[in-house]
Structure 1
Amino acid sequence: MKIQPLRITFQIVVILLIAFHAVAASQAKPYTGLTGNNWTRIFHDPMTTYNPNHWTLGRLSWADPANHGQWGVVNKELQYYVTPTDKHYKDIYHWTSNGLTINAIQAPIKVKQGKFQYQSGQLSSHIGAASNNKNEWTYGFFRAQFKLDNCNQKGPFYDIWLLSDHDGKGVGNPYSEIDMVEYLGHEPNHFIFNHFAKKLGPGGHVSQSVKIHPNTCGVWHETALLWTPRQLIYYLDGQIAHQEKDLTQIPTKPMNLIISLAISDTPNKPDANTRFPLRLHVKNVEVWQQP
């Protein structure tokens, strides 16, 4: 009987330690190289199942109502982004214990936005109206793990990016956009880092392409972005890939997180050698902020 209190005490200590580590994990530095210790993880999705409180699937209707949200019109993209009510929803979005797989398939479709030869997937953290959009952030540390399949061929345009809905016109310049990482199939092993901002003027953007060896297909990578009023730093696999040093060119508007697999037109248009389906795997999406 005398041992029982000790057992209870031990159990309480274990529970407290587990709780402490859970809190510490959400408040630790996301990267050791970041300044300050008061980082808090405010958004996390392992991407093992669809969470409608985190993501809207399909076209960006909030970005350009006049074009029915077909952001790809600007980039001359060839895909239709599938929603949960579309026939091919289960062919496009696969949620498993190892994250989300987005498939791009060759399946012609005619919808009110036009005729498309390909169907693919896109996720946006934009939930609800702009005035009540809880999943948008001004500044922070963003990261996600991703893997590309069948990537070194014409056709695929992979993108993990941030976009603002506070510029009034949606599609077209000026707008605020940060591309955490882009990959175009006709430029093998090159990851691209872009950002656009009103301060850069119409059409203005800053871009950096980084060549990675060995082959990037079929390998998990981590993309990350540190965005503050004085810093815009892109990371790839824990290393700085690009940074903006001109403070006047750093976007300042609240932004939404977007994950997309597009099909490009010329010069990256699919040809007779393109193998479908194209695939983008994503897991462990996080957003961290400081007070």
Structure 2
Amino acid sequence: MTAKGARRPLRRVALALSSALLMTATACAGTAETPRAPTTGPPPSGSWRIVLDEEFDGTELDDRTWTTCYDWNKDGCTNSGNDEEQWYLPEQVSVRNGELTLTAERRETEGSDDRTYPWISGMISTGRDDWYAEPRRTFTYGYFEAAIRIPPEAGMFPAFWMMPESKFTPPEIDIMEFLDTTEQVSMYVHWRGSDGDEERQRGTYGPADFPDRFHMFGLLWEPDALVWYVDGVERLRVTDTERIPDVPMEVLINLAVGVPNSPPDTVDTARMYVDWVRVWER
């Protein structure tokens, strides 16, 4: 993903976990279509406290924690840096049965930026309602994890990521992205090098049938390491401190459309489910 203030568009865990922190053998029951996800948690080293524990209980999104747009558009929003095809609207975000659902629909919509978008979709962020407001929640270091079930439809761009409170990227951390396949997750860190150019490092994990069930995507962010986890297992580690952000960052989850390819004509809707989102700090 990329922020509005980015100078150019971005194209976009084997610390052993103790048995108490591994996936539970029996997951809590949910709907037949979207079985509830088990839980992992932060690596066992050190002491941790949970500072964000979102279970999506009730029937409405908690607007004290989440907003449903980026802060640079009104009456909806999009991420123009990626040439995405969706206009995000609050009504595409729903909470029911302990899950968040982000729904993408093929519906031509004129955005407040005077462009016409072929799709509408949903997103959540701990950021602002508008450019001049304060973000709801930001974090500098910690362990971040969400249980997410991505849609199987082609042409979708689901992501769980972080961007700076400053609204300008890089830096940026992409905890998970699915670009041109649902069988391989991408993990990125973006930073600005000593020459001022944007740099990035990517890791991947797969193949796996990610739309088949919930998977847990986690990130350990510390001053000397970034460690990505999928289902409690380390998949990528970065230890070069030049590449590790040291600024407050917002948490975002979104279902973008059309990156890198548009959905085929046979696809008119897609849904992304989020069982929970949690953040721990030392």
Q: If the length of structure 2 is used for normalisation, what is the TM-score? A: 0.77
User: Corresponding residue for 2:226?
Assistant: 232
Tell me the C-alpha RMSD between the 2 structures.
2.3
Unmatched 5+ stretches in structure 1: 1-28, 84-88
**1:218 to partner: Cα distance:** 2.7
Kept in 2, the 8 Å contact 1:192–1:209? The answer is yes
**1:111 to partner: Cα distance:** 2.6
2:236 to 226, 237, 242: 242
Percent identity at matched positions? 23
- Distance between the aligned counterparts of 1:68 and 1:51, measured in 2? 19
- Distance between the aligned counterparts of 1:203 and 1:249, measured in 2? 11
Encode CA deviations 1:207-249: one digit per residue, 9 max, x unaligned. Answer: 1122233x22131100111001011000000000111121221
User: Corresponding residue for 1:270?
Assistant: 263
Encode CA deviations 1:19-78: one digit per residue, 9 max, x unaligned. Answer: xxxxxxxxxx933x3421x200011111233101100112x12xx47x999552111100
- Distance between the aligned counterparts of 1:93 and 1:197, measured in 2? 31
User: Corresponding residue for 2:248?
Assistant: 254
- Distance between the aligned counterparts of 2:78 and 2:142, measured in 1? 25
Kept in 2, the 8 Å contact 1:72–1:78? The answer is no
User: Corresponding residue for 2:52?
Assistant: 43
More helix as a share of residues: 1
User: Corresponding residue for 2:172?
Assistant: 177
**1:202 to partner: Cα distance:** 2.5
Kept in 1, the 8 Å contact 2:182–2:211? The answer is no
Q: Secondary structure at the match of 1:137?
A: coil
Q: 1:134 to 1:115 in 2, by over 3 A?
A: closer
- Distance between the aligned counterparts of 1:163 and 1:249, measured in 2? 14
**1:286 to partner: Cα distance:** 0.7
User: Corresponding residue for 1:139?
Assistant: 141
Q: Secondary structure at the match of 1:57?
A: coil
1:82 to 68, 73, 89: 89
Larger Rg: 1
Q: If the length of structure 1 is used for normalisation, what is the TM-score? A: 0.75
1:282 is aligned with what amino acid? Answer: V
Check if 1:281 corresponds to 2:273. yes
- What count of residue pairs does the alignment treat as equivalent? 238
User: Corresponding residue for 1:149?
Assistant: 151
**1:126 to partner: Cα distance:** 1.2
Q: Secondary structure at the match of 1:126?
A: coil
- Distance between the aligned counterparts of 2:76 and 2:175, measured in 1? 21
User: Corresponding residue for 2:106?
Assistant: 106
Q: 1:250 to 1:156 in 2, by over 3 A?
A: same
**1:278 to partner: Cα distance:** 0.9
